[in-house]
Structure 1
Amino acid sequence: MIAIVAPGQGSQTPGMFSPWLELPGARETVAAMSDLSGLDLERLGTTADADEIKDTAVTQPLVVSLALLAFEAIAPSGDLVVAGHSVGEIAAAAMAGVIPKDEAVRLAAVRGRAMADACALEETSMAAVLGGDEQEVLRALDALGLDPANRNGAGQIVAAGPLQAITALRENPPAKARVMPLSVAGAFHTRFMQPAQDRVAEQRATLQGSAPAYTLLSNADGTAVGDGGEFLDRLVTQVTSPVRWDLCMSTMLDLGVDAIVELPPAGALSGLARRAMKGVQNVAVKTPDDLDGVRDLLA
C-alpha cells in the first residue's frame, strides 16, 4: 500500500517550479493555473524571492499548483492512500477526484487571500514546539491561551495565537522542549481565522464533491472520508480547526502503508514520516528526476 501526500504552507522554496517547467505541457498547465489563481505562478515559482512567496495569498495556490503538476506527471493508478497537510488537503481532494484540478487551484487562491486578510486583523503568530511531554506541552499552551494548531506527530506540536503569548512561550518553554518561531503571517487553524473560513465556505458552496477514487484521509481526525461533499465541508472547518497529521500517519500505518511519497515542494512531511513511521519507505519528490523512482514504486 502506497500513500501519496501533499505538503502545506511553509514548504515553499524560491525557484521550486523551475525544473518542472521542462516537462511536456507544463508551461501551458501553469499558465492556466495562473489564470485561475489571478497570480503569475510561473514567475512566482521561478524568479521570486523567499519574502515574496511567503505571502499567504501567494504561497497557498503556489504550493497546491506544484503538487498537482507533479501528481499529473506521476499519473498513478491502483489502490492508493491520499492525504494533504493543511492547504495540501485541497491538492489531495483534486488528486482523489473529489473536485477538478482547476477548482482546487481556484479554491486555494480564495483560501490564501482570505487567510492573509484575516491575519491582518490581529497580531498573531505560530511556533513549533519540539520535544517535551505531549500533555505538558498542551497544558502550557492552554495556560497561555494558545491553540495546538498542528499536531504533527514525531514530537512536534505547533502553537498558534496572540503574538504576545507566543513570545511568552519562547521565553519559558515546557520542560525538555524547544520552541522555534515560524515565519507565518498569523495563527492559522485557530479561531482567529473565522473570517477566512466564512469566505472559504462561500467558495465551497459553488462546488459539488464526487466520491474519492482513492482512500482519502482527513486532517480533522485522520479518518478516511468516502463522501466528497463531506470532505469539502471538512476543508471549510479545517481553516479554524487543528491539523491532526499525527492521526493521519497513524491511520496510514493501520491501513498497511509501507511506502509514502511526498509531492513537491517536498521535505517537511517526509521528515515527519521518517521519525514517526519507522520501517516505511519514504520518497521525497523534489524534481522530475525523482519521478522514475516513484513510477517504479507504484508499478
Structure 2
Amino acid sequence: MSKTAFLFPGQGSQFVGMGKSIYETHPQAKETIDSADETLGYSLSALMFNGPEEDLKRTENAQPALLTMSTALCELVQKQGITADYTAGHSLGEYSALVAAGVIPFEKAAELVHQRGLFMEEAVPAGVGTMAAVMGVERDELKKITEHVSQTSEPVQLANLNAPGQIVISGEREAVEKAGEMAKEQGAKRVIPLQVSGPFHSTLMEPAKEKLADVLEPVPFQAAGVPVITNVSAKEETSAAELKKQLVNQVTSPVYWEDTVRRLLELEVTNFIEIGPGNVLSGLVRRVQRRGINVFAVQDEESLHKAVKKIKEES
C-alpha cells in the first residue's frame, strides 16, 4: 500500500493573491483565513490577497501568511479523504507540518510564527547578513569552504541542504560573498545571492533562538498524530517535548531537506504532496528521486483536484 507525505513550503514562496481563490470558493478555507486575521489582530488576508508585496514579504507577515494558506489547503486535501503517513516542512513550513500532525492548534501556530518572524527580523541589523544559493558543489566541499572562511573572518555556514548540488549558505555578508567566490574557484556552476532580510539558519540568529525558546516554553504541545520529519535531524519524531526542542534549534541549524526526502523514501513514501503556494519543494523532491514516485503541488482548486484524482486512482 502506498504511503503519503504532506510537505509544506517555507518563506519565499509567498505571492500577492495567495489563497484568494480558495477563500472565495470554500467556506472552510474562509474560516481558517478569517481566524488568522482575528488571532493576529490585523488583516493578514488583505496582505495575502492584495499586497503590497513589500509588506507581504516582510518576515513577520510572510511567515503567518504561508502557514495560513498551507493549513487552509491541507484541510481541503484532508476533506477529500487524503491523509498523511508523515509530514515535513521546509524551515517555517515545519510549523504547518506540526499543525497538520495535530501537535499545535493553527491559531497558536499563527501567533508563534508571527513572533518568530519579528525575532528573526530583529536579530541582525539590516544589511549585515545575507544568504546565497550555491549550485554544483557537494556539501562536504562547501562545508570546508565555509569553515575556512569562518575561521579567518566572519561567520558563514551551510543553511539549507536542499538537493544534490543545491545548497544555501548563510552568514555575515562579506563572509557569504567570500565563500561564494571560493566555491566558484572549486567548480560551482552558479552562486546566486538571495533576496532575504537576514542570515537565516545561521549562528547570527542566536538572539532570535533565545527569544523563541522563551515564547515556546509555556506552550503546550501534543504528541504528533503522524510522525513529523524534522529539519534538524531529518528523522521522524512524535514526542511533543522533542518536537518543541527541534523548533528552537531549527533557528540556527541547517535545514536538512535532501536528507528529509531521502528518509521519506526509505520509509517507502511514494506520494509526495506539497501543500501551499508554489512548487519549490516538488522540484527538490524530483532532484533527489525522479522515478517510482508521484509528486504533486497543491496550491489552488485545479491542482487540488488533479492530485486527489491521481492518488485515488492508484490507491
Instruction: Give TM-score scaled by structure 2 length.
Output: 0.90
Shift of 1:147: 0.6
Q: Deviations over 1:85-126 (max 9, x none)?
A: 101001111100011111111111111111111132771000
- Mapped pair 1:159 → 2:161: no
Work out whether residues 217 and 224 of structure 1, in 8 Å CA contact, stay in contact via their aligned partners in 2. yes
Aligned residue number for residue 208 of structure 2: 196
Q: Secondary structure at the match of 2:183?
A: coil
Q: Deviations over 1:119-143 (max 9, x none)?
A: 3277100001111233222212222
- Following TM superposition, the consecutive aligned residue runs of length 4 or more in structure 1 with deviations greater than 4 angstroms are 76-79
Do the aligned partners of residues 21 and 78 (structure 1) sit closer, same or farther apart at CA in structure 2, a change above 3 Å counting?
closer
- Mapped pair 1:258 → 2:260: no
- Mapped pair 1:112 → 2:151: no
- Mapped pair 1:30 → 2:33: yes
Which ranges of structure 1 fall in alignment gaps of 5 or more residues?
none
- Mapped pair 1:143 → 2:145: no
Shift of 1:28: 3.3
Work out whether residues 161 and 187 of structure 1, in 8 Å CA contact, stay in contact via their aligned partners in 2. yes
Q: Secondary structure at the match of 1:203?
A: helix
Aligned residue number for residue 16 of structure 2: 14
Aligned residue number for residue 275 of structure 1: 287
Distance 1:297 1:94 in 2: 25
- Mapped pair 1:100 → 2:105: yes
Shift of 1:49: 3.4
Work out whether residues 29 and 73 of structure 2, in 8 Å CA contact, stay in contact via their aligned partners in 1. no
Instruction: Give TM-score scaled by structure 1 length.
Output: 0.94
Distance 2:263 2:181 in 1: 35
Distance 2:285 2:202 in 1: 25
Shift of 1:298: 4.8
Distance 2:84 2:130 in 1: 39
* Amino acid of the structure 2 residue aligned with 1:250: R
Distance 2:84 2:56 in 1: 34
Do the aligned partners of residues 218 and 231 (structure 1) sit closer, same or farther apart at CA in structure 2, a change above 3 Å counting?
same
Shift of 1:295: 2.7
Identical aligned residues as a percent: 32
* Amino acid of the structure 2 residue aligned with 1:292: H
Q: Deviations over 1:246-297 (max 9, x none)?
A: 1111110100011100011131111101110222211011212222233334
Distance 1:26 1:227 in 2: 29
* Amino acid of the structure 1 residue aligned with 2:133: A
Q: Secondary structure at the match of 1:180?
A: strand
Work out whether residues 19 and 287 of structure 1, in 8 Å CA contact, stay in contact via their aligned partners in 2. yes
Do the aligned partners of residues 230 and 243 (structure 1) sit closer, same or farther apart at CA in structure 2, a change above 3 Å counting?
same
Which ranges of structure 2 fall in alignment gaps of 5 or more residues?
151-155
Aligned length: 299
Shift of 1:71: 0.5
Aligned residue number for residue 196 of structure 2: 184
Aligned residues: CA RMSD: 1.7
Deviates more, 1:120-129 or 1:192-201: 120-129
- Mapped pair 1:63 → 2:66: yes
Deviates more, 1:106-115 or 1:16-25: 16-25
Distance 1:73 1:46 in 2: 19
